[in-house]
Amino acid sequence: MEISVMSGKGGTGKTTVSINLALSAGEKIRFLDCDVEEPDAKIFLLPRMERIEYSTVSIPVIDEKLCTYCGKCAEFCIFNALAVIKKKILFFERLCRSCSGCWLICPERAITEGKRENGIIRYGEVGEISFMEGELKAGEETGYSIVRDMRKIPYKKDLITIIDCPPGLSPTLLEAIDKTDFSIVVTEPSETAFHDMRLSLELLERLKIPCGVIINKSSGRESFIEDYCSKKKIDILLTIPFDMEIACLYSKGIPFSIEIPLWKNKFRDIFKKIVKSGKSL
């Protein structure tokens, strides 16, 4: 079973929910930090990193000995990653989306498929958690290929996976929630987070992914969120108050469910509830 944790708006508490859920589960967990632009979960989980792998994307490799500069590849490339100027062929790797078009259509077979690094996947262990994070090189166009690679790594199917998603509603997010069995949308009582929560729930409905909401930084004035969820028949799984103790622990990188047993129990309860609902499907 795979559980994704998303929010739309950044900073609402995706990572907080993901790590506390993983630490409270009471069983072995696979944890995927898919926020590839800013992977932060390790700061809280402190995993022992055991190995890294470079994540790669396909790129064209051009054999200039065979190239006749006919320009067909550049003409085909919708991403403008190739240009042919007189007797010169230029490749702009950051624009390439690895669609394979150029090496498929080259009449001289001068282009073959090669690889380029665009990020790193790190593997680690901590307690009951088998940890994995993807990190995109700064300035890379998009990280969805890293997330796709991470999601494709084989694992024992009885393990439960928790996926800490990237913010926004980008293709990278789409890869992170794709075919997950349940998605938690983390929100907070602000107009902006509420706005993004609605978009997230719409997307999940379209993809037919069962979901629930967690309200973070609650001030007790979030009836607008509750009303919306009850109208849409979406469970509010948990409400976490805005609390100086929780904020201070967060700032020090300490997951609050470790320090406050009451919260460990609450997270364990919702974890069990989600797993149970997944099994009944």
Residues that bind other proteins (CB under 8 A): 8-12, 15, 37-38, 40, 43-44, 58, 76, 78-79, 97-101, 104-105, 136, 138-143, 166-171, 173-174, 189-192, 195-196, 199, 202-203, 206, 217, 219, 221, 242, 244, 247-248, 250-253
Q: Of 33 and 181, which has the nearer Cβ to other proteins?
A: 33
Phi, psi of 6 (to 5 degrees): -130, 175
Q: Of 90 and 104, which has the nearer Cβ to other proteins?
A: 104
Q: Of 24 and 216, which has the nearer Cβ to other proteins?
A: 216
- Is the distance from CB of 147 to CB of 134 less than 8 angstroms? yes
Q: How far is the CB of 6 from other proteins (least distance, A)?
A: 11
Q: Of 138 and 281, which has the nearer Cβ to other proteins?
A: 138
Q: Of 101 and 124, which has the nearer Cβ to other proteins?
A: 101
Q: How far is the CB of 86 from other proteins (least distance, A)?
A: 26
Q: How far is the CB of 198 from other proteins (least distance, A)?
A: 11
Query: Which spans in the chain are helix H?
Result: 14-24, 41-45, 72-76, 101-105, 144-152, 171-177, 191-206, 223-231, 244-251, 256-259, 261-280
SS (H, E, C) 135-168: EECCCCCCCHHHHHHHHHCCCCCCCEEEEECCCC
Spatial separation of the C-alpha atoms in residues 257 and 79, rounded to whole Å: 46
CA of 130: how far to CAs of 159, 183, 205, in Å?
Answer: 10, 20, 30
Q: Of 190 and 277, which has the nearer Cβ to other proteins?
A: 190
Q: Which helix (H) or strand (E) holds 187?
A: strand 182-187
Q: Which conformational region is residue 69 in: left (phi greater than 0), alpha (psi within -120 to 50 degrees), or beta?
A: left
- Is the distance from CB of 3 to CB of 180 less than 8 angstroms? yes
Q: Of 12 and 257, which has the nearer Cβ to other proteins?
A: 12
Q: How far is the CB of 82 from other proteins (least distance, A)?
A: 13
Residue keyed to tokens 């994995």:
132
